[in-house]
């Protein structure tokens, strides 16, 4: 089976400050997983804020180099240097960001973004061709060029604007989308429509999606597989339902229990029983190792634990 994406022993360390007070953050530590080229899936990355999700996404998008390890797209190393290669890569792996109102300049009509993306990836200035590509992409997200034409970002809801951002990402027909918390800035009432859209991109268009979230409910609903990250390390990985129905790692359990706590809902932070928290945080910083379980998942275990 050939693979679409291979993450091999990938780590990212940020070093800040000067000679004195140097600070090191291990944002991602030894991540390993692969997506198949034959079977589109929604592969979810779960973790509270600061766990390394965005850093991992940025490395996959080629916006950041790993400190160690390598990332292969269709067997080729992701190369963020060199314009032609970069464009070719971007046609295949497209981002959808958290806040659609930040992704669009408030003073520019939405269609300008779609247009420039179409021009860049289709290598054409033919207006009819560009309009057709824009309309097709918008239709895929339940909109049309007619509805969007002439409108500014503030004239749309967050949900509609996020659809436009997804339409823009779909213009080059990428096999892979990286959606970094795509619904966290969208009104709760519109969230499911975006989540369902990601699902239909997989099911109807065969697009694979790396879906980043701290929301276990939507993750459970749309994911095929998932990883749970704690402070840069994958602590559990496997079939989404297997893991979320019965999480094994103490941190996975804590995340599941935290869903019931409304104190910090939406903030991606934990708030729950202190005993559970200490159990789940005792191993932070310890390397441990991922062990395969009979049910197909992998769980990080620690010596002497
Ligand atoms: N450019 C950067 N420079 C320094 N530290 C960073 C940078 N980007 C992220 N970090 C740190 O890396 C860790 C993981 O951050 P991030 O990947 O944004 O997590 P998440 O997306 O899960 O919230 C955090 O401790 C964050 O402060
Ligand atoms: Mg993030």
Q: Is the shortest distance between the CB of 214 and ligand 1 below 6 Å?
A: no
Ligand 1 midpoint to CA 232 (Å): 9
Q: Which token pair is 96? A: 């959808």
If one residue of 22, 47, 54, 55 were mutated to test the ligand 1 pocket, choosing by the most ligand atoms within 8 A of its CB, it would be 55
Distance (Å, whole) CA 107 – CA 125? 23
pLDDT at residue 264, rounded to an integer = 52
Residues around the ion ligand 2 (C-beta < 5 A): 53-54
pLDDT at residue 278, rounded to an integer = 86
| Burial call 122-150: b when 16+ CB within 10 Å, e when fewer | beeeeeeebbebbbbbbebbebebeebee
CA nearest to 30, candidates 63, 68, 74: 68
Low-confidence spans in the chain with pLDDT less than 70: 80-81, 259-272, 304-305
Ligand 2 midpoint to CA 50 (Å): 7
Residue 58 alpha carbon, nearest atom of ligand 1: 17
Residue nearest to atom 8 of ligand 1 (CA): 55
pLDDT at residue 86, rounded to an integer = 81
* Burial (Cβ within 10 Å: 0-12, 13-18, ≥19) of residue 102: exposed
Q: Is the shortest distance between the CB of 24 and ligand 1 below 6 Å?
A: no
Point out the ligand nearest to the CA of residue 12. Answer: 1
Question: Is 215 within 8 Å of 45 (Cβ atoms)?
Answer: no
pLDDT at residue 270, rounded to an integer = 59
For helices 110-122 and 158-170, angle between their N-to-C axes, nearest 10 degrees? 10
CA nearest to 215, candidates 165, 272, 258, 274: 258
Collect all residues with Cβ–Cβ distance below 8 Å to 233 and sequence separation of at least 6.
29, 30, 287, 288, 300
Q: Phi/psi class of residue 139: alpha, beta or left (left: φ > 0; alpha: ψ in -120 to 50)?
A: alpha
pLDDT at residue 83, rounded to an integer = 75
pLDDT at residue 51, rounded to an integer = 95
Please give the model's pTM, rounded to 2 decimal places. 0.93
Q: Is the shortest distance between the CB of 200 and ligand 1 below 6 Å?
A: no
pLDDT at residue 300, rounded to an integer = 97
Q: Which token pair is 199? A: 């699902």
DSSP reduced 3-state for 65: coil
pLDDT at residue 118, rounded to an integer = 96
CA nearest to 167, candidates 127, 221, 205: 205
Ligand 1 midpoint to CA 5 (Å): 22
Which residues, listed in sequence order, are joined to residue 44 by a DSSP beta bridge?
A: 211, 226
pLDDT at residue 281, rounded to an integer = 87
Which helix (H) or strand (E) is 294 found in, with range? none
* Burial (Cβ within 10 Å: 0-12, 13-18, ≥19) of residue 233: buried
pLDDT at residue 222, rounded to an integer = 96
Question: What are the helix (H) ranges across 61-157?
Answer: 83-90, 100-103, 110-122, 127-140, 145-148
pLDDT at residue 103, rounded to an integer = 87
Q: Is the shortest distance between the CB of 65 and ligand 1 below 6 Å?
A: no
pLDDT at residue 269, rounded to an integer = 56
pLDDT at residue 190, rounded to an integer = 85
Ligand 2 midpoint to CA 12 (Å): 14
Collect all residues with Cβ–Cβ distance below 8 Å to 248 and sequence separation of at least 6.
236, 293, 297, 299
Domain map (residue ranges) of the chain: 3-92+174-301
pLDDT at residue 277, rounded to an integer = 86
Residue nearest to atom 4 of ligand 1 (CA): 14
| CATH number for the domain running over 3-92+174-301 | 3.40.50.300
pLDDT at residue 185, rounded to an integer = 83
The proportion of the chain whose per-residue pLDDT surpasses 70, expressed as a percent, equals 94
């Amino acid at each position: 089976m050939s693979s679409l994406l291979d993450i091999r022993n990938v780590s990212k360390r940020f070093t800040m400050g000067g000679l004195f007070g140097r600070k090191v953050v291990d944002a991602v530590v030894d991540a390993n997983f692969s997506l198949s080229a034959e079977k589109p899936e929604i592969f979810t990355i779960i973790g509270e804020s600061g766990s390394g999700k965005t850093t991992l996404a940025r490395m996959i998008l080629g916006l950041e180099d790993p400190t160690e390890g390598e990332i292969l797209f269709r067997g080729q190393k992701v190369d963020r240097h060199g314009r032609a290669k970069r464009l070719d890569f971007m046609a295949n792996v497209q981002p959808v960001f958290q806040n659609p109102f930040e992704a669009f300049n408030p003073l520019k009509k939405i269609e300008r973004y779609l247009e420039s993306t179409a021009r860049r990836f289709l290598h054409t200035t033919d207006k009819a061709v560009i309009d057709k590509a824009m309309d097709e992409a918008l239709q895929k997200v339940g909109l049309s060029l007619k509805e969007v034409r002439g409108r500014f970002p503030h004239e749309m809801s967050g949900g509609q604007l996020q659809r436009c951002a997804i339409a823009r990402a779909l213009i080059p027909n990428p096999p892979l989308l990286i959606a970094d918390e795509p619904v966290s800035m969208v009104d709760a009432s519109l969230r499911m429509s975006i989540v369902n859209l990601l699902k239909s991109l997989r099911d109807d268009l065969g697009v694979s999606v790396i879906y980043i979230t701290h929301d276990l409910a939507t993750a459970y609903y749309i994911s095929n597989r998932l990883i749970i990250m704690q402070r840069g390390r994958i602590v559990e990985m496997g079939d989404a339902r297997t893991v979320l129905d019965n999480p094994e790692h103490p941190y996975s359990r804590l995340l599941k229990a935290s869903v019931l706590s409304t104190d910090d809902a939406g903030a991606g932070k934990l708030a729950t029983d202190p005993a559970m928290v200490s159990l789940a945080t005792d191993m932070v910083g310890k390397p441990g190792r991922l062990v395969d379980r009979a049910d197909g998942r992998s769980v990080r275990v620690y010596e002497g634990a």
